[in-house]
Chain A
């Protein structure tokens, strides 16, 4: 326990030290203020932007797009995962595709998505799902593969039907792995959607950052970056902690 605390404290100290270093480097004018602004000013500008409601529209746009992409990616990935798990021959056939899927730089498809679906949220949602769906499929397969055989035998000896076996035995046992899939789907949705907005979009946080960069509004740009990094890191860490708790409970059970 003390070692764990020491690790955590050291980590916090490193991050705090890094932020302070940035602050010092900027305040002492060691870097051009046109290149980098101090973290304290980023935070102050961000506070102003939030308080004035200037970026509320972009925030709402990005977050609703991400939410739709995550829900769709989880639902589609889970359904496909269950279906593929039931069909071993299909699963074997999909092996070459899954093995090479993540080597494809998915972002290059984004301009095509825009040409196909128009310049709105749809191509962004598709891009956000492009990484999340296979991750969810793999997580579902992984979870279903690891249901202990004892549990399945117990279910059979209780003469549970297919659906109640699924609801009472398979799902609770696979839950931690499904959660891993959800976590990845969320992280990938943020990465895909903000990158898409950055390259080509009419609204959203990524677009706002690119727009501020083009207009030499460094304060706004850094404030928005800070916002994205803090919020996404916070969400990822929350899910990660939840995942760890569920995983430990499964191990104890």
Chain B
């Protein structure tokens, strides 16, 4: 293991992997130190959390909560992606509409949307509908903004070519725009992925009887810190892994486009 670190010719992949490993070790060390400082009642140690998590994933109850979160998240992400990409393409193509909408979207992006959660609960009622809607209002704006920026920044020669070939709008989007903006859309989806997950989890933490967000809050109110720590650990692992996959796709696409 230490031998490969000394080799300089492993390319960019080697040190990246090593840096990631060092980062994980440092973070685990900080976690252990925090545990030693705050005590057993406030945060479980890394070892205890991993152990509790491996016990937790063997129970059926855990998977019903995980399933509730996953289905809400999948629905929210699908809606965010479709709506965001569609809106971004349309607003990017129509310059005037895009210039009108962009600051409004950017403003909406940076307000605390949690305050709107009661409205969503009043409209959709307690349940999966509210969670999906809450995930969507978090995820749709970054996806729209990334798509919009990508379409606006597209090489005008491509657009002129499409016009010279007398392509219709649908055809222009399918054959020219979509391939040209794909890398940015992948980036937008990566950001939207994280924010949609955040929205769904916050919704579960505030008013829900099911889902992983509920398990986190429930663990605290039952003084079951191990459960809270274990669920958070799992979410972080899943989020980082998913981000890693999307980042890899991102780099592949950009690499291919370059």
Which A residues lie at the B interface, using CB under 8 A?
A: 6-7, 10-11, 14-15, 34-36, 92-97, 99-100, 102-112, 114-116, 187, 190-191, 194-195, 198-200, 205-206, 209-210, 213, 218, 221, 224-225, 228-229, 232-233, 236-237
Chain B residues within 8 Å of A6, by CB: 96
In the complex the two chains form, is A10's CB within 8 Å of B216's CB? no
Known contacts A7-B96, A99-B247, A194-B114; is-contact A92 B240 (Cβ 8 Å): no
CA distance A184 to B205 in the complex (A): 25
Q: From B242, which residue of chain A is reached at the shortest CB distance?
A: A103
14 A–B contacts from the bound complex (CB under 8 Å): A34-B122, A35-B122, A35-B123, A36-B119, A96-B19, A103-B239, A107-B201, A108-B216, A108-B232, A199-B206, A210-B206, A218-B122, A229-B111, A229-B115
In the complex the two chains form, is B104's CB within 8 Å of A198's CB? no
- Give 1 or 0 for each of B115-126: 1 = CB within 8 Å of chain A CB: 111110111000
In the complex the two chains form, is A191's CB within 8 Å of B112's CB? yes
In the complex the two chains form, is B191's CB within 8 Å of A102's CB? yes
Chain B residues within 8 Å of A200, by CB: 217
In the complex the two chains form, is A111's CB within 8 Å of B43's CB? no
Q: From A106, which residue of chain B is reached at the shortest CB distance?
A: B198
Q: Identify which of B15, B16, B110 contacts A187 (C-beta below 8 A).
A: B110
Q: How far is the CB of B115 from chain A (nearest CB, A)?
A: 5
Chain A residues within 8 Å of B104, by CB: 11, 14-15
In the complex the two chains form, is A10's CB within 8 Å of B96's CB? yes
Q: From B235, which residue of chain A is reached at the shortest CB distance?
A: A108
Most buried by B among A105, A107, A232: A105
Known contacts A34-B122, A108-B213, A199-B205; is-contact A233 B111 (Cβ 8 Å): yes
Chain A residues within 8 Å of B107, by CB: 233, 236-237
Q: Is the interface of B mostly helix, strand, loop or mixed?
A: helix
In the complex the two chains form, is A198's CB within 8 Å of B117's CB? yes
Within 8 A of A (CB), among B206-244: 206, 213, 216-217, 219-220, 225, 228-229, 231-232, 235-236, 239-240, 242-244
Q: How far is the CB of B43 from chain A (nearest CB, A)?
A: 6
Chain A residues within 8 Å of B122, by CB: 34-36, 218
Judged by a CB distance under 8 angstroms, whether B193 is at the interface is yes
Known contacts A107-B198, A194-B112; is-contact A96 B118 (Cβ 8 Å): no
Known contacts A93-B23, A100-B243, A198-B117; is-contact A111 B111 (Cβ 8 Å): no
Chain A residues within 8 Å of B110, by CB: 187, 191, 232, 236
CA distance A35 to B20 in the complex (A): 49
In the complex the two chains form, is A116's CB within 8 Å of B99's CB? no
Residues of B within 8 A of A (CB-CB), count = 59
Within 8 A of A (CB), among B1-25: 15-16, 19-20, 22-23
Judged by a CB distance under 8 angstroms, whether B100 is at the interface is yes
Q: Identify which of B16, B42, B236 contacts A104 (C-beta below 8 A).
A: B236
Q: Is the interface of A mostly helix, strand, loop or mixed?
A: helix
CA distance A229 to B104 in the complex (A): 13
CA distance A239 to B104 in the complex (A): 15
Q: From A115, which residue of chain B is reached at the shortest CB distance?
A: B42
Within 8 A of A (CB), among B37-80: 38, 41-43
CA distance A107 to B118 in the complex (A): 18
In the complex the two chains form, is A209's CB within 8 Å of B100's CB? no
Q: Identify which of A94, A109, A233 contacts B23 (C-beta below 8 A).
A: A94
Judged by a CB distance under 8 angstroms, whether B179 is at the interface is no
In the complex the two chains form, is B22's CB within 8 Å of A105's CB? no
Q: How far is the CB of A138 from chain B (nearest CB, A)?
A: 14
In the complex the two chains form, is B239's CB within 8 Å of A104's CB? yes
In the complex the two chains form, is B112's CB within 8 Å of A93's CB? no
In the complex the two chains form, is A11's CB within 8 Å of B100's CB? yes
CA distance A204 to B15 in the complex (A): 46
CA distance A35 to B67 in the complex (A): 30
Q: Identify which of A94, A112, A224 contacts B42 (C-beta below 8 A).
A: A112
In the complex the two chains form, is A92's CB within 8 Å of B19's CB? yes
